[in-house]
């Protein structure tokens, strides 16, 4: 057992001294009595006392003077003043000088005992506090969380600076306070229950939990509490509590929940259907603004597998697609049809991986109208193909007749007989040759169209020089672009022929055409220039407009621009003081081989 607490009783009434001595000794205290102030001071110098019960009126000294002397020798002593001549002034004076209590005679021994016990308990707490403070002083200073040490009854023994900062109490106010008073009433029982459970199980650590803590000013804030049971000689001796202010985190969580709610509202207002499938391909979330495109009700989807909701063929397509997306991490688009309300509807489903790495986000859009439009377009394309075939057939036959008549006309005319008529026949034949070339070009499959730009141009230059030997065409290529490919187009050849024909017509005799080819990143730049008079300034702005006469620019340039734009390119007239003749810049996308 520990050393007994020592009590010094100072009173000139021997009966009171003896009575109190007997009572306190029965309570296992060490007790000594004296009857004067000087004897009290002498005894205090010889022996350390926990408590002094001091009469205010002594035969040799004033009790308050004795109080001061006792404190001077032993600052830790707890002094309880007693008197039969009480007044407010004397009570205030005693308490001001440091007395723990002021009790009026006749003495109520229960009151005296309780007061002594309270003083000794306070001293014990102060002693434990000093020991713990020394042990944990450095640790406490480094902590960014509030820390409390409390005895096994929950009374606070020690608190660090962060605890003072968070709760608004000073360390003396926290000393002896029951820890649960720092919590919201609703959370106090939770803490006590968790501590009791851990004590029963013999666990040192108590599972942390979130709670509302109460400041001195009555305001509440969010905290996370982690408790540890402290043991002394294998017996629970108290608790260590770490409290972290999570106000900002909780505020962020609330904002996140609000944001998620707004997000759900936005998703639910979209025309698309959005489904979240877990790793078992079960519907965990459904966002829909209109139930008409749902194969089943929204409630029926929740928690059900795709195979439980959709027809087998559609479910298999979505399941296999979802599994592929999980493996590759790449999005995938599927199309399928469903019979809803006795009508066939087409849907496009975009499957992509969710941010959790396992779930699938399925975005579904009704494409019934698009599919109907595609079908209509396909029908029109088929009709156009048939019409084109018929037209090619009929025009080819008619051209054959015209070529035959041209041959007959030449046979009937002698050389030099009628030069003007022969020139007219040659012109008619040239027009028919271009028509025949156009028909031949459109009858060829698109895969057979030459895509290598240099080969296209060289072929056209060769044909042009065969009928117009006085025309000089130079091709300049910067770099090795022999295999440079552009989009396949039956009509692109017409553009080159139209530009060459325009240059030949307007440049006059001994025309020279320069074609420069260069590459800029993923595009090829083609510069067409001639040595002719150039383009009149008055028609430059409407050069590529539809309906302009041949003298004002020609219908061919309008068509050329439309053809080039249809394959993602552009054409423009290059102007400037240094430009001689007509100069055009054509930019086309490069197609990888």
pLDDT over threshold 80, residue 385: no
Q: What is the pLDDT of residue 201?
A: 67
pLDDT tens-digit readout, 553-565: 444 788 888 888 8
The dihedral built from the CA positions of residue 50, 56, 61 and 64, taken in this order, carries a sign that is: positive
The answer as to whether 137 is a domain residue is: no
* Rg value, the chain, Cα: 52
Question: Is residue 592 over pLDDT 90?
Answer: no
Is residue 246 assigned to a domain? yes
- The answer to whether residues 299 and 357 belong to one domain is yes
Q: What pLDDT is stored for residue 216 in this prediction?
A: 93
In 341-425, DSSP assigns E strands to 343-353, 360-366
Highest mean pLDDT, choosing among 74-78, 205-209, 371-375, 460-464: 74-78
The region of weakest confidence among 21-30, 203-212, 321-330 is 203-212
Please give the span between the terminal C-alpha atoms of the chain, in angstroms, as a whole number: 97
Q: What is the pLDDT of residues 447-460, one digit of tens each?
A: 656 778 888 888 88
**Mutual orientation of helices 63-73 and 37-46 as an angle, nearest 10°?**
10
**Quick one: average pLDDT of 312-324?**
93
Q: Is the pLDDT of residue 545 over 50?
A: yes
Residues 164 and 110 in one domain: no
Contact between residue 331 and residue 351 where contact means Cβ atoms under 8 Å apart: yes
Kind and range of the H or E element at 164? helix 161-167
Residue 551: pLDDT band with limits 50, 70, 90 = very low
Evaluate whether residue 300 is within a structural domain: yes
pLDDT in the model for residue 260: 63
Query: Which of 471 and 67 is assigned the larger pLDDT?
Result: 67
What per-residue confidence (pLDDT) applies to 312?
A: 92
Per-residue model confidence as pLDDT tens digits over 6-48: 999 999 999 999 999 999 999 999 999 999 999 999 999 999 9
CA atoms of 29 and 7, how far apart (whole Å): 7
Q: Which residues pair with 282 in a beta bridge?
A: 305
Is 136 domain-assigned? no
- Contact between 433 and 403 (Cβ < 8 Å): no
For residue 509, pLDDT beyond 80: no
Q: Is the peptide bond before 106 cis (omega within 30 degrees of 0)?
A: yes
Which tokens belong to 391?
């037209």
Q: How confident is the model at residue 205 (pLDDT cuts 50, 70, 90)?
A: low
Residues 358 and 239 in one domain: no
Q: Does residue 133 lie within any of the structural domains? A: no
> Is pLDDT at 392 greater than 50 in this prediction?
yes
Looking at residue 166, which CATH number applies to its domain? 3.30.450.20
Using DSSP, state whether 526 is helix, strand or coil.
Answer: strand
**pLDDT top residue among 422 and 321:** 321
Number of domains into which the chain is organized: 5
| 49 & 96 share domain | yes
Own/partner long-range contacts of 161-166 (Cβ < 8 Å, ≥24 apart)? 163/243, 166/213, 166/215, 166/221, 166/243, 166/245
Mean pLDDT for 458-480 is 79
Asked whether residue 284 is domain-assigned, the answer is: no
The total of other beta-carbon atoms located within 10 Å of residue 373's CB is: 11
Greater pLDDT, 218 or 144: 218
Euclidean distance between CA atoms 118 and 100, whole angstroms: 9
Which domain-ending residue is among 344, 364, 384? 364
pLDDT (average), residues 515-525: 87
- In which residue are the tokens 């810049």 written? 585
Residue 1 predicted with pLDDT over 50? no
Q: What is the pTM of this model?
A: 0.37
Residue 162, pLDDT > 50, answer yes
Residues 6 or more apart whose CB falls under 8 angstroms from that of 292 comprise 340, 341
Cα gap 214→167, rounded to integer Å: 7
* Residue 57, in any domain of the structure: yes
For residues 462 and 481, give the distance between their C-alpha atoms in angstroms, rounded to a whole number.
19
More confident residue, 52 or 98: 52
Most confident listed range (4-18, 354-368, 419-433, 569-583)? 4-18
The yes-or-no verdict on residue 145 having pLDDT over 80 is yes
| pLDDT over 90 percentage in the chain | 26
* 3-class DSSP string for 271-305: CCEEEEECCCCEEEEEECCCHHHCCCCHHHHCCCE
Residue 196's pLDDT band, with cuts at 50, 70 and 90, is confident
At 292, phi and psi to the nearest 5?
Answer: -65, -25
Average pLDDT of every residue of the chain: 82
pLDDT of res. 391: 67
Buried/exposed 150-183: b ≥16 CB within 10 Å, e otherwise? bbeebebbbbbebbbebbebeeeebbbbebbebb
The answer to whether residues 226 and 300 belong to one domain is no
3-state secondary structure of 190: helix
The answer to whether the beta carbons of residues 335 and 247 sit under 8 Å apart is: no
The helix/strand/coil state of 128 is helix
Q: Using the 3D structure, point to which of 309, 338, 364 is the last residue of a domain.
A: 364
In this structure, the answer to whether residues 584 and 456 fall within a common structural domain is yes
Domain with residue 111: its CATH number is 3.40.50.2300
Among residues 49, 92, 96, the alpha carbon closest in space to that of 70 is found at 49
d(CA 256, CA 56): 67
Indicate whether 315 and 341 sit together in one domain: yes
Q: Is residue 578 part of a domain?
A: yes
Using DSSP bridges, classify how beta strands 570-573 and 583-589 pair: parallel, antiparallel or unpaired: antiparallel
What pLDDT score does 235 carry?
81
Do both 166 and 298 map to the same domain?
A: no
346/456: higher pLDDT: 346
* Average pLDDT score over residue span 66-72: 91
Which residue, 313, 335, 364, sits at the end of a domain? 364
Domain that holds residue 309: 289-364
| Pair (169, 218) in one structural domain | yes
b/e code 118-129 from CB counts within 10 Å (16+ = b): ebbeebebeebb
pLDDT at 384 over 50: yes
- pLDDT surpassing 60 at residue 478: yes
Residues 51-73, mean pLDDT to the nearest whole number: 91
Residue 550: what pLDDT?
A: 42
The pLDDT of 517-521, averaged and rounded, is: 85
Whether residue 462 is found in the same domain as residue 527: yes
> CA-to-CA distance for 428 and 480, rounded, in angstroms?
40
Same domain, 434 and 501: no
Average pLDDT of the segment spanning 297-321 = 89
- 344 and 398 together in one domain: no
Ranges 343-347, 382-386, 583-587: which has the least confidence: 382-386
């Amino acid at each position: 057992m520990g050393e007994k607490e020592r009590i010094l009783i100072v009173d000139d009434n021997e009966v009171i001294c003896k009575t109190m001595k007997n009572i306190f000794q029965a309570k296992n205290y060490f007790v000594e009595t004296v009857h004067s102030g000087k004897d009290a001071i002498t005894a205090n110098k010889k022996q350390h006392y926990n408590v002094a019960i001091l009469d205010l009126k002594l035969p040799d000294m004033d009790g308050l003077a004795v109080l001061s002397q006792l404190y001077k020798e032993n600052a830790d002593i707890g002094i309880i003043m007693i008197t039969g001549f009480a007044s407010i002034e004397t009570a205030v004076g005693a308490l001001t000088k440091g007395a723990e209590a002021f009790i009026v005679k006749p003495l109520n021994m229960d009151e005296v005992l309780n007061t002594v016990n309270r003083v000794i308990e306070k001293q014990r707490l102060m002693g434990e506090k000093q020991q713990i403070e020394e042990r944990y002083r450095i640790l406490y200073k480094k902590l960014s969380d509030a820390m409390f040490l409390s005895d096994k009854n929950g009374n606070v023994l020690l608190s660090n600076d962060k605890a003072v900062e968070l709760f608004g109490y000073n360390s003396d106010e926290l000393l002896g306070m029951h820890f649960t008073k720092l919590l919201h009433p609703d959370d106090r029982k939770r803490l006590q229950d968790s501590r009791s459970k851990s004590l029963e199980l013999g666990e040192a650590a108590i599972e942390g939990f979130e709670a509302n803590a109460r400041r001195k000013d009555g305001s509440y804030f969010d905290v996370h509490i982690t408790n540890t049971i402290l043991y002394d000689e294998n017996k629970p001796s108290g608790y260590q509590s770490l409290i972290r202010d999570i106000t900002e985190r909780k505020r962020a969580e609330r904002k996140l929940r609000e944001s998620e709610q707004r997000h759900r509202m936005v998703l639910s207002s979209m025309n698309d259907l959005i489904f979240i499938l877990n790793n078992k391909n079960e519907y965990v979330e459904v966002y829909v603004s209109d139930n008409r495109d749902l194969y089943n009700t929204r409630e029926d989807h929740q928690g059900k597998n795709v195979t439980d909701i959709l027809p087998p063929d559609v479910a298999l397509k979505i399941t296999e697609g979802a599994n592929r997306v999980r493996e590759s991490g790449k999005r995938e688009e599927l199309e399928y049809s469903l019979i809803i309300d006795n009508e066939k509807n087409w849907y496009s489903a975009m499957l992509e991986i969710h941010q959790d790495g396992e779930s699938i986000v399925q975005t579904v859009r009704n494409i019934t109208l698009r599919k109907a439009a595609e079908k209509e377009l396909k029908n029109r394309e088929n009709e156009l193909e048939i019409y084109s075939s018929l037209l090619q057939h009929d025009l080819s036959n008619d051209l054959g007749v015209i070529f035959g008549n041209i041959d007959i006309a030449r046979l009937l005319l002698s050389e030099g007989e009628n030069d003007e008529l022969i020139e007219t026949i040659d012109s008619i034949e040239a027009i028919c040759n271009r028509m025949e070339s156009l028909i031949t070009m459109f009858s060829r499959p698109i895969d057979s169209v030459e895509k290598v730009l240099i080969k296209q141009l060289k072929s056209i230059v060769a044909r042009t020089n065969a009928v117009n030997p006085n025309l000089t065409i130079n091709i300049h290529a910067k770099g090795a672009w022999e295999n440079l490919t552009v989009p396949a187009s039956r009509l692109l050849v017409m553009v080159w022929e139209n530009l060459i024909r325009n240059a030949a017509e307007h440049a006059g005799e001994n025309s020279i055409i320069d074609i420069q080819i260069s590459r800029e990143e993923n595009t090829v730049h083609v510069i067409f220039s001639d040595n002719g008079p150039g383009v009149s300034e008055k028609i430059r702005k409407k050069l590529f407009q539809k309906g302009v006469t041949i003298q004002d620019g020609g219908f061919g340039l309008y068509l050329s621009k439309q053809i080039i734009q249809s394959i993602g390119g552009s054409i423009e007239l290059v102007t400037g003081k240094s430009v001689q003749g007509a100069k055009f810049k054509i930019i086309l996308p490069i197609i990888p081989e």
